[in-house]
Amino acid sequence: MSFAVAIDGPAAAGKGTIAKAVAARFGLAHLDTGLLYRAVGARELEGQDPVEAALSLNPEELDESRLRTPEVAQAASRVASQPEVRAALVDFQRAFAARSGGAVLDGRDIGTVICPDAAVKLFVTASPATRARRRFLELSAKGHAVTEAEVLADVEARDARDSGRVAAPLLAAEDAVVLDTSEMSIEEALAAAVAVIEAALEGRG
Ligand code: CDP
């Protein structure tokens, strides 16, 4: 029996934190689909053709620490607007979502394109200022020399590009539960996500 949880939302909204925590709590596999696009973006920065990079990507071998930089995030958002890049990554994501033990995927188009039949769809969002603040603290803690203003500019530029693109734009699925975490702590956001998932599991009997 497959059970897919789709978590979408704009940059630095806390999707990853929530996805990881609910995966651990419900014993589901977790895929951060942003890392796939970041890996393709990183290869593009090294001079590789993004479509070739996407076609030859080995999702089991992603060096996460190297991919979590603002430069790579921007490159990811650029390559993610190319339909051929997105198409090359679809099969892997859908196969992951169909795992028999259940899966949580977080990204931008999970509930709309990758798993339109997901058992649970969450759209996690927060104000740009809140998201920039959280990402700034995260990057600073890892030793990245960034200012909050630079992080806000990165977040806003990616939001605009991700929402405005023709191929799988950032969009809440019609049947998604929207979670605005601007005024919530991570514990509160997580509790809200857990409640939605528990209700879905109960509904399945
Ligand atoms: O962690 P953060 O929200 O900052 O970004 P991410 O989830 O790692 O995604 C990086 C970029 O990849 C986004 O700005 C999107 O352009 C792209 N992306 C996408 O187009 N579709 C997805 N399912 C996931 C990410």
Residue 2's pLDDT is 85
- The structure's pTM equals 0.96
Domain coordinates in residue numbering, the chain: 4-197
3-state secondary structure of 183: coil
Tell me which CATH code domain 4-197 carries: 3.40.50.300
The span from the CA of 145 to the CA of 132, in Å, is 14
Check if 109 has its Cβ closer than 6 Å to any atom of ligand 1. Answer: yes
Which pLDDT does position 1 carry in this prediction? 63
Q: Is the CB of 107 under 6 A from ligand 1?
A: yes
| Signed CA dihedral, 22, 125, 67, 40: sign only | positive
Residue 61: predicted pLDDT: 86
The pLDDT value given to residue 60:
87
Q: Which stretches in the chain have pLDDT values below 70?
A: 1, 205
For ligand 1, atom 18, the nearest C-alpha belongs to 34
